[in-house]
C-alpha cells in the first residue's frame, strides 16, 4: 500500500517537473530572440533595452531549470522507491538445524505412545551402508527407508512427508538495484519523449527511439518479477510459470493493482513450463496411516494357521 501511495505522489511531481522543463525551454528561446534583436537593432536605446530584457529572461530560465531538476529528481526517486515497495523480495524462513543423528526423528517418533495406548517398539537404526550424507536424507517415519529431505512421499511405502525447508538464499541487492534502475530509466525516458520532445520529433524518429525506452522498461520489470518468483518457489512449491505469476498477481496491492498485474502478465499465463518429475507414490502403509511404526516393515495381520 505504501508503494502505491509513493507512486501516486510521485506522478504530480513528475508532471510539474515536465512543465518546468517546458518553461525553461521557452525562456531559453525568448532569450535567444532578445539577444538577436539586441545585436541587430540600429538604435542604441533598443539594443540596451533588449540586453536588459535578456538579463531578466536568463534569471527566469535559471530558476525554471533549478525547479525542473529538483522536481524530476524527487519524482524519479519516489517512483523508484514505490516500485521497490510494490515488488518486495521476502526472505524464506530459515530451517532449523537438523540433528547430526539421521535416525533421531525415528527415535522421537518411537518414543511417543501409540494412539491405542500400547507402547511402540523401539526403532532400529538404519544400516551404516544405507546412510547418506548428513542433512540430505532422513528415515521414513513408517518404514525407516532412507528418503531425501525434499521428498513429499516415501517411494517405498507411500507415507507422506513434509519437505524440510531450505535455507533462504541471500537477496542479490546489486541485481535488484540494476533492475529498478532500468525500469525507472525506461519509464522516465518514455515520459520525456512523449511529453517534452513529442512536438520536436517526427513520427519516424519516434518509432526509431521506441526500443531505447521499451527494452529497459520490459527488462527491468520482468527481472524484478523473476526475482520474486525465484524467492517464492521453494515456499509455495509452484512449479509452472503460470502458477507463479498467478501467485504474484494475487499478492498485488488492492483490486486495482491485481487488475493491472493481470493485464501485464496475461500473455505469460499461458506458458506451461515442465513440472519436475516426482517419484511414483505407492499406497500408504498401515503403519503410516495409523501412526504406529514397527521397524522396517509395516505391520499386517497374519492368517491364522490351519489346524493339524
Of 150 and 40, the structure prediction assigns the larger pLDDT to 40
Residue 148, beta-bridge partner list: 137
Reference 151, options 167, 137, 133; nearest CA is: 137
CA dist., res. 167 & res. 92, Å (int): 7
Question: 147: which DSSP letter?
Answer: E
> Over the chain, what is the mean pLDDT?
69
Is residue 279 pLDDT above 50, yes or no? no
Which 3 state secondary structure label does DSSP give 119? coil
Give the model's pLDDT for residue 118: 46
Q: Measure the CA dihedral 163/166/172/175, to 10°.
A: -30
Reference 110, options 284, 260, 274, 291; nearest CA is: 291
What is the residue whose three cell numbers read 538604435?
Answer: 43
Is residue 80 within 8 Å of residue 192, measured between CB atoms?
A: no
Give the model's pLDDT for residue 161: 66
Reference 223, options 261, 187, 179; nearest CA is: 179
Question: Residue 202 — pLDDT band, cuts 50, 70, 90?
Answer: confident
CA dist., res. 123 & res. 143, Å (int): 10
- At 138, which helix (H) or strand (E)? strand 137-139
Question: Residue 280 — pLDDT band, cuts 50, 70, 90?
Answer: very low
What average pLDDT does the segment 256-271 reach? 69
**Cα separations in angstroms, 231 against 140, 234, 279:** 28, 7, 25
Q: Among 20-24, 43-47, 96-100, 103-107, which stretch is predicted with the lowest mean pLDDT?
A: 96-100
Share of the chain above pLDDT 90, in %: 0
Give the model's pLDDT for residue 81: 77
Which 3 state secondary structure label does DSSP give 146? strand
Is residue 184 pLDDT above 70, yes or no? yes
| Phi, psi of 138, deg, nearest 5 | -150, 155
Taking the model in full, what pTM does it have?
A: 0.42
What average pLDDT does the segment 197-220 reach? 82
Question: Residue 247 — pLDDT band, cuts 50, 70, 90?
Answer: confident
Where exactly are the structural domains of the chain? 1-86, 100-167
Alpha-helix residue ranges (DSSP H) falling in the chain: 2-40, 44-86, 104-111, 173-195, 203-236, 241-250, 254-265, 286-290
Give the model's pLDDT for residue 255: 74
The sign of the CA dihedral 157, 159, 164, 165 is positive
Q: Among 4-13, 52-61, 140-149, 178-187, which stretch is predicted with the lowest mean pLDDT?
A: 4-13
CA dist., res. 285 & res. 296, Å (int): 11
Of 209 and 295, the structure prediction assigns the larger pLDDT to 209
CA dist., res. 144 & res. 122, Å (int): 12
Amino acid at each position: 500500500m505504501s508503494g502505491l501511495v509513493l507512486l501516486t505522489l510521485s506522478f504530480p511531481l513528475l508532471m510539474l517537473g515536465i512543465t518546468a522543463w517546458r518553461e525553461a525551454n521557452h525562456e531559453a528561446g525568448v532569450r535567444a530572440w532578445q539577444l538577436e534583436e539586441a545585436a541587430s537593432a540600429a538604435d542604441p536605446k533598443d539594443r540596451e533595452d533588449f540586453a536588459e530584457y535578456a538579463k531578466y529572461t536568463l534569471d527566469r530560465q535559471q530558476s525554471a531549470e533549478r525547479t525542473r531538476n529538483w522536481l524530476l529528481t524527487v519524482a524519479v526517486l519516489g517512483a523508484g522507491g514505490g516500485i521497490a515497495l510494490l515488488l518486495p523480495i521476502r526472505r524464506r524462513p530459515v530451517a532449523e538445524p537438523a540433528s547430526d543423528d539421521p535416525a533421531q526423528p525415528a527415535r522421537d517418533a518411537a518414543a511417543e505412545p501409540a494412539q491405542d495406548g500400547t507402547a511402540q517398539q523401539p526403532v532400529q537404526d538404519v544400516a551404516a551402508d544405507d546412510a547418506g550424507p548428513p542433512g540430505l536424507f532422513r528415515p521414513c517415519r513408517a518404514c525407516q527407508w532412507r528418503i531425501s529431505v525434499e521428498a513429499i512421499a516415501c517411494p517405498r511405502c507411500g507415507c507422506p512427508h513434509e519437505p524440510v525447508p531450505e535455507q533462504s538464499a541471500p537477496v542479490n541487492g546489486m541485481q535488484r538495484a540494476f533492475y529498478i534502475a532500468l525500469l525507472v530509466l525506461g519509464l522516465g525516458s518514455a515520459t520525456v519523449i512523449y511529453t517534452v520532445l513529442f512536438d520536436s520529433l517526427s513520427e519516424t524518429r519516434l518509432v526509431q527511439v521506441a526500443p531505447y525506452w521499451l527494452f529497459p522498461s520490459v527488462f527491468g520489470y520482468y527481472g524484478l518479477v523473476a526475482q520474486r518468483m525465484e524467492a517464492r518457489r521453494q515456499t509455495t512449491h509452484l512449479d509452472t510459470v503460470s502458477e507463479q505469476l498467478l501467485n504474484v498477481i494475487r499478492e498485488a496491492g488492492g483490486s486495482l493493482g491485481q487488475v493491472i498485474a493481470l493485464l501485464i502478465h496475461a500473455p505469460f499465463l499461458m506458458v506451461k513450463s515442465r513440472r519436475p518429475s516426482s517419484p511414483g507414490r505407492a499406497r500408504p502403509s498401515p503403519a503410516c496411516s495409523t501412526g504406529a511404526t514397527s521397524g522396517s516393515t509395516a505391520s499386517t495381520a497374519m492368517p491364522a494357521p490351519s489346524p493339524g
